[in-house]
Structure 1
Amino acid sequence: MNLLILPSSLSFLSSILVGVYVFSKNPKKIQNISFAAALLSFAIIEFGNFMFFYSLDRGGGIFWIKISLVGIALIPPTWTFFSIVFARRDALELIVKWRTYLSVISFICLVFIISVLFSDLAVKSISIRMGDIIISIGKAGYYFNIVLLLSIILIIVNFENTFRQSKGIEKWQIKYAVVGIIIGFCFFIYSISETLLYSFMRVKLMIGGSFIILMVNLVLFFSIIRHRLLDVNVFISRQIIYRSISILAVGTYLLFTGTVIELTRFFGEDIKLFLRPVAIFIAMAFFGALVLSERTRRKIQIFVNKNFFANKYDYRYVWTEFTEKISYDLNLSEMLPKMLEVISNTMWVLRISIWLLDEEREQFYVVSTLNLPEKINNEINKGNSLLRYLKEKEDILDLSAIGEKEKFIYEENKYLFDLMKAKLIVPLIAKNTLIGFLTLGQEITGERFTEEDFELLRTFGNQAASIILNTKLSEKLIASQQMESLSKISSFIIHDLKNLVSTLSLIVQNSKTHFENPEFQKDVLWTISDTVGKMNNLIIKLSSSPKDLEYKFENVNIKNIIEETFEELKLEKNPKLKLTKIYGDEKKEYSIKGDLKALKKVFLNIFLNSLQSFPKGEGEIKVFLEKKEGEYSVEISDNGCGISKDFLEKYIFKPFKTTKKDGLGIGLYQCKTIINAHKGSLDVKSVEGFGTKFIINLPF
């Protein structure tokens, strides 16, 4: 058996099996589809390699090399697409943003595939040189390798950015997969760089590539099974992209590779050529692991800050990030996780929690955590020694350096501190009141916190306490406004119910003289049924939110609304009332855009006010409707008791102000509100003892 086929056969099978497994788990998810497509490119490469080694003694080797090149040509579009959507919360938005690049690179790869399959521009010949099988490439192959190199660099940058932006458990879930993928593509960069230097590909390097792809597949499968790799969601910030180190690392590597290859020209030994890719791969694996290690990066940052800068932190950047992320959130549930994230990123602490005071229960409880158990039901009573210490000292408690006086605090709260993995307790004090505290775990490098760390945390604590207090006050204000809105709506509804009761009262009064009349009896039944329906509607409205009580504008006829109100109140059948109606044009439709029910309330309120203004229940109501320039004008006048000049000037449209003994002072306020919503106007003229005139103007 030809042992050369073993690595490529194993790589081919692993690519197919892992790809099919992931696709079958969720064939509709974009991440699963793109992952399977990416592994398909590896499968085609390894299938071509397998058949090439199998046919070495049988001829036809160039054809299978071309098949392998087809798989390589699929790497830029498939792996770029996967690197875009991998673990991203905004995957669909990113696809739209990258569509132009994906289209261009796909077209270039398609052209190269055509040149590979139907010409000799990509592969020229196969020969034996320096004890190795050499595959010479043509101009198309050379230029495509340049495109491939740039594409792979971009793919590495995308994966690096995803990894660097991930936090806590998300980073742990994707760490091995990202490291494996980046290391695998580093080998591709090495292989491409050699191909560009010598214009040929070495078969021994292809064997090494098969081993690398096999290892990458195993790492990916491990991450999928153990860490639910494709169920992670990360959002990439612009700052992370700006700080990407992949391009610098690849540039350094290419310089290093060129130097190594030039040096190897002096040593023509076959064994060194074979071992060189393995040695470089191990070095790049070490370099990649070092670069992606949070602890290493933090130590480097500390070293740079200590030796090259006066301050450990860039306070302007830290403060800008803190205020931008937090200041504009009015909701505590949205703001607190952002606050913890900023503090965690700044202080390099993975585990952090925030506790706030429940004023009603007089206890402190955990409201938000980062990389800690989601459900923590512990509560701390106001008499706890920890709270007494924070109130008295108004300073940070360092649990790693507590003295004899503070030991009892640790002993009393040991379970809580262990649960929170706490090393520091930072008080949140606003207006001389302890409103909460932060718990911070160990710094990621294991270094002890310095006085500069404490100073920054004190500032964080003071600012956070102020923001939290203001946010709580804002939430209370919003709740108060909602209650005020509900009270206002309730007042309107109660007044409407009072009007309906007045309607029923009129029926009772008229029934004393007209009850024997069959037609009157029919009217009574209809009116009672209609009134009950309206009362039910008001009850429904009372249980609805203010949003459910918005106006519904449609084409309505003002004249018809007035007539329907007459009918509802039985004004034309009231023997004690003289009703005069004057319409500018009897045949004209006085049509506007308005809310039918709301406008009817306006006329109902005004007519009831007129009826209630008659001292002995007898009087006259005049209604005059006419068209003016751009609006309809309705004048409703009566000869009732009128309104005093003082009340007219000061209180006429104010809520809860009334001249009636049993009134609520809501009717005219409600009328004014409705007319304003229709962009109209409502005015009142009155002389006490002689009557009142209401003037309504509604635009059409």
Structure 2
Amino acid sequence: MISMPDLAGRLLHPVIILHALLCPAWLLFSYSYIREFSFASLKGRSGVFFYGSFIPCIVAVLNKPDAFFYSPDFRFDQALFLEPLSFFFYLQILLFFFIAVGNIEVSLMSAEHGVRWKVKYALLGAGTIIAVHVLFYSQALITRMINMDYLVLKSFGVIIGSMLFYYSEAVRNGSGVMLSGRKMARSAMSILAGVYLLGLGIVLEGYRYFGSSFSKYALISLFFCVALGSVIMLFSDRIRRKLRLQMHSLFFKEKYDYRKQWMELTKNMSEAKRTSDLLHIVLVHMCETFGFAGGGFLPADRADPCTLRTGVFHELPLFADIPREDCKALFAMGGEALPLESIEGRITPETYERFVLAEISMVLPVHAGTEPEGLLLFGRGIDSNEEHGPEDFQLLAVEAQQVGLTVRSFRHGEELAVAREMEAMGRVAALILHDLKNQVYPLSLMLGNAQEFMDNKEFQEDLLRTLRNIVNNMMKLIRQLTEVPDKTTLSKESVELTKLAESVAAMVPQATVVVRGGPEEVQGDKEQLEKVILNLFTNAIEAGGEPHIEVEVGRDGVSPFIRVSDKGGGIDETILREGLFTPFRTSKKRGMGIGLYHCRKIMDAHNGKVLVENRAGVGATFTLSFGSVPGQN
């Protein structure tokens, strides 16, 4: 019997029917929102769920409110107590709500990136509305009554969810989405729904046996179980991997997300600076991905690819000295992953026994194209019950191919760096030997003449003058090779650029130097700046052509500059491509290729720049731009 005002009593039955209609309404929403939908597509399980959602509607229509609730005095209690029929009625509603939320989650996860950000708030709003209804009905199932005091919280949740939904719709332009073929019909809600209903049953039984004190016992037990489970998962690689694979298998048909694995491996390898770092990154990634306890990489020798060198190992005992014939046999098997039992009989028994003793479970030959690059060895699995199948072997082969090409690229880079160092060393040695020979030849000549003319005073003076010149030339050579100034070695003072350019111009009487511009001051090392300008003048003269140099001193905004232009025909395009300021690169027969390198270093120390403008067939313009002026940063 229900004792309530007449109007409320007349409205109660329509309200119950509306509650039941929420089931097909939310299921229809979850099947049609941002999807290509037609009722003809409701087949199989989807059709059973949708048409089955009308069962609560039929129950609500065929039964009067007295079959659902009783309330001796609603005016004072403000509560409706559940009859057995209403208990199962609301339990059915909860089940269909969970199905709807699962469909919403699948829609969100299946949406393309551009669509997902537009609809995520709409789906979140819909989920919020369903969630507050689930909590409202769950409270009713636990306490066996509908407490009207919770209607305010329920209404607040519905308002928040509606606002999220309409906000998302305001920025969406009708984007649709087809469910990804890789996604299964199951979602995380299938697990959450089961856990929720199991917990609901435990709570109901707990209140039945322990009464109102059950909440205290349940909270303590729950906290202890969660803490213990977290600690176990934190310290157990096997449990974490097994749980991850189990969760992945629930939602995806494939064991791996190939795009994610490829991007993760590529990102990790991009952080490597040396080959050893690269190999360590690869081993850690593969061991974590495929669940191996350790791994190692034995690189192939550059001279003989079937001979392996000392490798890099991660959580695996050092393993070396694999016979050449065994290496040749393994590389001949291609680039597929080879479980240890599959290579028994194809390599020598001694090598196979060593693999077994080292607990190696898989061997993976690595190739770069068709050339062997090394062997990947993997230890035992973290989970002894996990079996690697074709999907693992396929991803291993793909990643091994990428690793092989990357290792070869690193190796070629290191070989190129060594070759460049040797080339630079050879150039420096040739230039130094050439200059030393030029200095030694006069010395040997003077030494031969000294035996005959040592008592001649004029010869003595000539000898001293020659020795002095030779010493000065050798000291200059040493300074060119060793003196590269930085900010800490500068002796800064106020330098007037126009006067500096004019004083340097006086040092090159063989050329016509025209200096234009007003006074501009910078804080710098006068001696070092003089070297820079003199080097530019010298290069202009040695470039050939008309020995005419134009110098402009001025300011570009707040940056003073000196601009040196010549008519030497311009700079060779090869030098420009390879790097004009790269040391030991020059087009001059006797040049060392370090003059402009020193110029740039000196300007860097002054917070300045060297800018180049090349006019092919005409000449070149070098601009020394200073980053600051006195009293200004």
Q: TM-score range by the shorter chain?
A: 0.3 to 0.5
**TM-score scaled to structure 2, two decimals?**
0.46
